[in-house]
Structures are given as C-alpha cells and as structure tokens.
Amino acid sequence: MLEVARKILEGDERALARAASWIENRRLEAEPLLQELFPRTGHAMIVGVTGPPGAGKSTLCDQLTRLLRSEGKTVGILAVDPSSPYTGGAILGDRIRMQQHHSDPGVFIRSMATRGWLGGLARATTEMAMLLDAAGRDLVIVETVGVGQDEVEIARLADVTVLVLVPGMGDDVQAIKAGIMEIADVFVINKADLPGAEKLERELKSYLALSHRPDGWTPKIVHTVSADGKGVAEALLAVREYYSRGGGRARAGQIWSLRLREMLRERLLDRVPAEEFSNAGRDVAEHRRNPYSILHDWLERW
Ligand SMILES: Nc1nc2c(ncn2[C@@H]2O[C@H](COP(=O)(O)OP(=O)(O)OP(=O)(O)O)[C@@H](O)[C@H]2O)c(=O)[nH]1
Ligand SMILES: [Mg+2]
C-alpha cells in the first residue's frame, strides 16, 4: 500500500491535507491514491448544501458542524467558493466563521474556487469527498451556490441535498426552480426570523404537491434561524431521515453513473489541448471545416 494511503487511513492530518492538494492541483499522484482508497469509502454521508447567494448556507453548515461535533462525529467541509459576481466578500466571512473549528482536528475544511475549473469542479468535489470518506469522516458537507449548472451537478452527486431558501425571495423561487428544486431532499427555510417564512412554506408546499419523485419521498420543509442555531437539529433530523430511509443509497447507482460520465468527459477533454479547441472553433466559425469532421477526427484519435 502507498505510504500516503496508509497514513491517511491511520488518521494522519498532514497526509490528508497533502492528498487534498493533489486533487485540487490535478496532480497525477491523486489517481493511484484514490484507487487504493476506494475500497475504504462508502461510509460517510455526503450532504450537499446549496441555495442562492447569501441564504445562510455557510452559517447553517457551521451550526450543523457544531451539532455533529457535540455528538462526537467527524466532519469534512468542502466549500465551493462562489467566485461569482453575486458574492464578493463571502469567502472571508466563511473563513472567519469557520475559524472556531480550525483547531479542531475533527473538522477538515477546504475551499475550492469555482474559477478556472472548466467543468472539473464536480470531479474535484467527488474526489475530495471520496478522500474524506476514506479518511473516516462521518459526514462530508459540500456547500455550493445553487446558481450555475456546475453547482447543480455537484449537488446532485450528494447522498442528501439540502436546499437553503430565505423568505422574501419573490421571483427568485421561480428562477431557482429550474435546476435545483427537483433534486432537493430537504428544504430549509433559513432566516425564519424574517417576515415571509410562512408564505414561502406555502409556495414550497404547492410546488411539492405538483411534483412527484420516483423514490416516493416527500421532501421535508424545516424552518431555521441559523444565525442562532434554531431549527438546525430539526434540519439534521430531516437529513438523516432521508438518508436512513435509503433514499441516498437507492440513488447511488445513478449518482455513480453521473460521476463516471463526468470523469470520462473530463479525461476526454483533457486530451485535446486548449489551443486545438480554439483553432477548431475558428475553423468552424470561418467555414474552413465542418464541426462533425472535427469531432470525427478527435474520436478517431481516441
Ligand atoms: N436574520 C438572519 N440572518 C442570517 C441567518 N443565517 C445567516 N444569516 C446572515 O446572512 C448572511 C449570509 O450568511 P452566509 O452563511 O454567509 O450565507 P451563504 O449562503 O453561505 O452565502 P454565500 O456563500 O455568499 O452564497 C450573514 O450575514 C449571516 O449572518 C438567519 O437565520 N437569520
Ligand atoms: Mg457561504
């Protein structure tokens, strides 16, 4: 067994941090390591926490972490940093908020920037979750901003997906319906201290009444005030209920087929240098070549 794999399985924090950096930096060492660790995965519950910018996702993750730590559970937190125009200073806020966990070896936190990943973010998140799972974390929480397709994709890969909404969003609920509403297993109405929480709940209920899921689960709706921890225990309960009901596991095959698709896509894309893509793009735009012949050439090469 690889030395680093052995260390990770023994709970060595530094080995874990090093492996996490390999994944982030797309180092070749990551793959053989993950191959070796794979048989040790499958025990952690992967919870995706998503929702619009500023909904209180990080605050909720923080409170969930506190609660889990008080139960003696170990936690990994992957914050997919929203380097989107919506959220400027959020990262710093997260850092400060999470600092209280920094001296706690039972909490492993990593932020991953969205920028520059070109679709590889889902893979990196998957691999990071595998790593933390193998390292024996009981829970892995993945925070993403539910705005882009990448983020929806990541949320879909979790065992349980929590969608955090806030009262008074108005039309935003309509906007968010597009991708993420369908895959939410638990709805959290955060900032329930603000007016409009009941109205939002009614809207969600009427949405849910019209939608029906293949697994027969009716997503729970929980009110929270994450800022002071209210309702967080209920949110965790709802997450666990869905998980223990087997919902996540029933989805596992489907989840892995999505993951494999993602991994294959990335590997294939990696084989075409960026420059070749831009040249081909120009060739098509200027009618020097047709797109199908280019694709054909690439597929031939593989
Ligand atoms: N009133 C109220 N404010 C809250 C509550 N939960 C969080 N907040 C505040 O909402 C703001 C955003 O919270 P975050 O946890 O950073 O939200 P986020 O969804 O992680 O934000 P991004 O990661 O930037 O998308 C912070 O100022 C929090 O203090 C709540 O329950 N009630
Ligand atoms: Mg956040």
Q: Which band of pLDDT confidence, cut at 50, 70 and 90, is reported for residue 101?
A: confident
**pLDDT, the chain, mean:** 85
Q: Whose CA is nearest to atom 15 of ligand 1?
A: 56
pTM for this entry: 0.86
- Residue 148: the pLDDT is 65
Give residues (CB < 6 A) around ligand 1.
53-59, 82, 87, 90, 93, 145, 190-191, 193-194, 225-227
Tokens 């400060």, residue located: 96
Q: Indicate the domain borders of the chain.
A: 1-40, 42-250, 271-301
Assess whether pLDDT exceeds 60 at residue 21: yes
Q: Which band of pLDDT confidence, cut at 50, 70 and 90, is reported for residue 114?
A: low
Mean pLDDT of all residues in 228-254: 87
Mean pLDDT of all residues in 40-67: 93
80: closest CA among 150, 167, 16? 150
Assess whether pLDDT exceeds 50 at residue 161: yes
The alpha carbon dihedral of 47, 48, 54, 55 has a sign of: negative
Assess whether pLDDT exceeds 70 at residue 72: yes
27: closest CA among 157, 138, 131? 131
Q: Whose CA is nearest to atom 21 of ligand 1?
A: 54
Altogether, the residues listed in the chain come to a count of: 302
Q: Whose CA is nearest to atom 28 of ligand 1?
A: 56
Fold of 42-250: Rossmann fold (3.40.50)
Q: Which residue from 59, 144, 190, 222 has its CB within 8 A of the most atoms of ligand 1, so it is best to mutate?
A: 59
Q: Which residues of 37-74 are buried (b: 16+ CB within 10 A; e: fewer)?
A: beeeeeebbbbbbbbbebbbbbbbbbbbbebbeeeeeb
Assess whether pLDDT exceeds 90 at residue 198: yes
CA distance 287 to 292: 12
- Residue 121: the pLDDT is 74
Question: Measured in angstroms, how far is the CA atom of residue 300 from the centroid of ligand 1?
Answer: 50
Mean pLDDT of all residues in 21-45: 93
